[in-house]
Amino acid sequence: MPTPAITIDSINQPPGFFELLGSPQLTACWWRQGEGLIGLGQVARLQASSAAAIQEWWRAWLKDQPVVQDPQLQGNSWAEPLAFISFPFRRGGVHEIVVPRQIWGSRGQQCWLTSLPADQPDPPTTAALPAGRQPAAASDDHCSVGPIDCPTPTTPGSAPEINRPIHYQPEGLGHEAWLQAVRQAIQAIAEGRLEKVVLARAESTDWPAQLSAGAVVQQLATLYPTTWTFAVAGLIGATPELLVSLEHGRLSSRVLAGSIRPDGQATRRGQLLAQSAKDQSEHRFAVASVAAALRPHAQTLTVPDQPAILQLPNVIHLASDLGGQALPGRSVLDLGEAIHPSAAVCGTPVGAALEFIDASEQLDRGRYSGPVGWINQSGDGQIGLALRCGQINDATIRLFAGAGIVADSDPEGEWDETQAKLAAMKQALAAALDSQTDR
């Protein structure tokens, strides 16, 4: 019997993408400013111990898989068979790949639906799994969304007023212990053992059984439309940092490092950030580490001389956009593996920074600050860093934030920075709960 085809159909009447983001059937997404990919249901999911194992599995899964694509969509790399990925901060940790049953896409003037047949063959296995883990079985979730002519979009409005208090518990280091770790990092920098190190912390709270991940994702897309809102295997967030994008050989990367609270005076605070020697130093380390990682994989690479100011509702960043042409045969996963972990989430030198993090942070980051995004059949895709995010684990959700420590860092100032970054997920979670209560 022939293998059923993956179908990719143009949609003349766009669906209500904002509603799809909030669907209880949401299993994966990558969304920014009204464009992106929304995955519903699940055909296959794999946990492996390396990006190479994930890439090998993905290629094997696609082998001999027929695809029927609307000719109008040819050349659109987002409208190919694709999967969503989420990798750990630490090499050797659990790497995730998810293949949804349906992927609804929007880009420019094009909208489409990628459908995988219900009787899809079982996914192949790979030998490179963490001990005791097996690939997730194909789901029997057939998705009830459709038909193709769905309701017209709903324009996201302002976030609802937040009335419900949510209590968070610190994980790992508390306030004073974390400040002491920052002081120790500054001392290590003064002694020449480090140039920069990123210290993270986490807070957790109960995950209400009645709340879907999609409800929070929908709020993130509303509150932070200029970030990349993502969801993969229980990790949800809205990252401002694009680790690497690859399309038809063109690569790009957005580096963020150095930040400040807006405090209601975004323009003036942005000017202060641009003039901050501490933040400029932190940013240079991050840009240099990404550029050095990409150069062996690029025919050309353009690196800006000075960063720009990126203003978000809860934090202002120094930002640099790198671009160039990748060498033939490179996939987006190859490029992501080359860059990660960069100075933006780890430190400089990388080895010494990792050792300091292990000794001082007292936190299992999991997939926080790791690569997250999607890869298509051709190896193109987009990968961000899992920042401003939370990991849903059964009855709890863990929220993460970090700060880059350099020679001129102020411990209390770094703590305030993590508070500002945690606010993104806290606000979205509270808004989702309030919205659900109002229904």
Q: Show Cβ contacts of residue 20 under 8 Å, excluding neighbours closer than 6 positions.
A: 26, 38, 40, 104, 145
| Amino acid type, 76 | N
Kindly report the CA angle at 69 between 67 and 75, in degrees rounded to 5?
115
How is 27-94 classified by DSSP, letter by letter? Answer: EEEEEETTEEEEEES-SEEEEESSHHHHHHHHHHHHTT--EEE-GGGTT-GGGSSEEEEE--SSTTS-
How far is residue 308's CA from residue 112's CA, in Å, rounded to a whole number? Answer: 34
CA-derived radius of gyration, the chain: 21
| Amino acid type, 216 | V
| 3-state class percentages of the chain: helix first, strand second, coil last, to nearest 5 | 30, 30, 40
How far is residue 118's CA from residue 100's CA, in Å, rounded to a whole number? Answer: 11
CB 331 within 8 A of CB 324: no
User: Of 375, 307, 345, which is closest to residue 99 (Cα–Cα)?
Assistant: 375
Q: Which residues are catalytic?
A: 196, 241
What is the per-residue burial (b if ≥16 Cβ within 10 Å, else e) of 327-359?
A: eeebbbbbbbbbbbbbbbbbbbbeebbbbbbee
- Which residue in the block uniquely carries the two structure tokens 């194992």? 53
- Is residue 192 classed as helix, strand or coil in its secondary structure? coil
ω into residue 313 within 30 of 0, thus cis?
A: no
Q: Show Cβ contacts of residue 38 under 8 Å, excluding neighbours closer than 6 positions.
A: 17, 20, 21, 23, 26, 28, 29, 31, 103, 104, 105
Beta strand 6-10 with 67-69 is parallel
How far is residue 36's CA from residue 58's CA, in Å, rounded to a whole number? Answer: 21
The gap between the terminal CA atoms of the chain, to the nearest Å, is: 48
